[in-house]
Amino acid sequence: MESRFRIEDPAGAAARREAAVQRLRDETGIDEAMIEALVEGFYARVRDDVLIGPIFAARIADWAPHLAQMKLFWSSVALSTGVYQGRPMPKHLPLPIDARHFDRWLELFVETARDLCPPVAANHFIERARRIAESLELGIATANGTLLVKGERFARPTQAWTPD
């Protein structure tokens, strides 16, 4: 009787992953140097941004570890390298953000990718960034008791200002 289960050869799996990563590199032109330039350039813009900059500044004192993690993250997202092992959703759930913030994040990301990357690579990054923003926004909305339907966006209720 033939087994339907196959024992994976770790060396074979690693070779297949490396071949897939190399195909993505060849198709897009993306490499670690491009990822580094994109992450560094993007977060420089984020830090200067009046809407989302303060949200990051309130939570990140030392940017070097954050940028290192984001380079691993984008390597995994763009090239399927598997080098990032984090969980982004739990880190974003407590943030005071909604659709406006995701729109601005994406706007800065698109500008940076288009400025720093060849068109094929920029489009590859941007497509993934859009999916990430959508997923995070959906997760945050759900965690805040809002179920979004397709095309709907999450807006936090505005709080009326009252003088002390």
Domains by residue range for the chain, with CATH: 30-143 (1.10.490.10)
Q: Is 66 annotated as a binding residue?
A: yes
pTM: 0.87
Highest mean pLDDT among 6-10, 40-44, 146-150, 159-163: 40-44
Q: How far apart are CA 79 and CA 17, in angstroms?
A: 10
Q: What are phi and psi of 21, to 5 degrees?
A: -60, -45
Checking if the pLDDT of 164 tops 50, the result is: no
| pLDDT confidence of residue 103 | 97
- 70-115: per-residue pLDDT in tens? 999 999 999 999 999 999 999 999 999 999 999 999 999 999 999 9
